[in-house]
Amino acid sequence: MLLTRYGIREWGIMTLVAAALVAAAVAFSQWVIASVVFVAWLAGVSFFRDPLGRRPATDAPNDMVSPADGKISAILDVDHHAATGGPAKVVRIFLSVLDVHVNRFPCDGTVATIVHADGKYLDARTEESARVNESNVITLDTASGERIGVRQVSGAIARRIVCAAAIGDRVRRGARFGMIKFGSTTELILPRPADVKVHVKVGDRVTGGVTILATLRAPGSGAG
């Protein structure tokens, strides 16, 4: 288990402050205080954990893995989405403060666009938050010519979206690209909703970079 580099400032400060407080408590034999500080430090830095050894549960190019840990909060079709330039299937994941918050790419591809939008900081558990909160949309062009989107959405506590990707980057499925600091939402956005087979349902828990959320079938292949 590592601590993500995307939160090095926060967990670094936590560690320095906690070390100073524990040292002072130990110097005065205040073992209870030292223990409380240690537990608080452990809880704080655990938000920035970055599990090792994750492998996508698929090697099929049309299978999309989850871009985040959390719970499926919505699966919907929209008539038009800016990420795909047309109709889209959106799979939305809610991340609580207890979930790993590192975001991962759902498929292989090349980063085509990155669009940040200022917005509000409503509770990420509400439907409205997905529409009006601060967000960052990354689109990928796949080898087959598809345009896939991933949207990072802030929450009431999350006030900083981190995206380390750059336009033109060639990326691999499951690779890390950023995080949203504290409770938030991440969306997978796929074109041609009629050709998308979703493998999860609302309420399912998913693992970033591992769980297969959906398969984008070839045009006209039909539902199955």
Identify the residue whose tokens are 């040292």.
23
Q: Work out the angle at residue 223's Cα, subtended by the Cα atoms of residues 218 and 224, and round it to the nearest 5 degrees.
A: 105
CA Rg, the chain, in Å? 19
Listed residue (199, 157, 224, 181) closest to 66, CA to CA? 199
- Selected catalytic residue, list 96, 135, 184, 221: 184
d(CA 146, CA 166): 19
Handedness of CA 91, 89, 116, 107 (dihedral sign): positive
Listed residue (95, 41, 42, 97) closest to 69, CA to CA? 95
The contacts of residue 196 (CB under 8 Å, 6+ apart) are 89, 190, 214, 215, 216, 217
- Count of H helices and E strands in the chain? 3, 16
User: Is 184 considered catalytic here?
Assistant: yes
d(CA 29, CA 10): 28
Cβ-contact 124, 133 below 8 angstroms: yes
- Maximum distance among all Cα pairs of the chain, rounded to whole angstroms: 73
Report, as residue numbers or ranges, the catalytic residues.
184
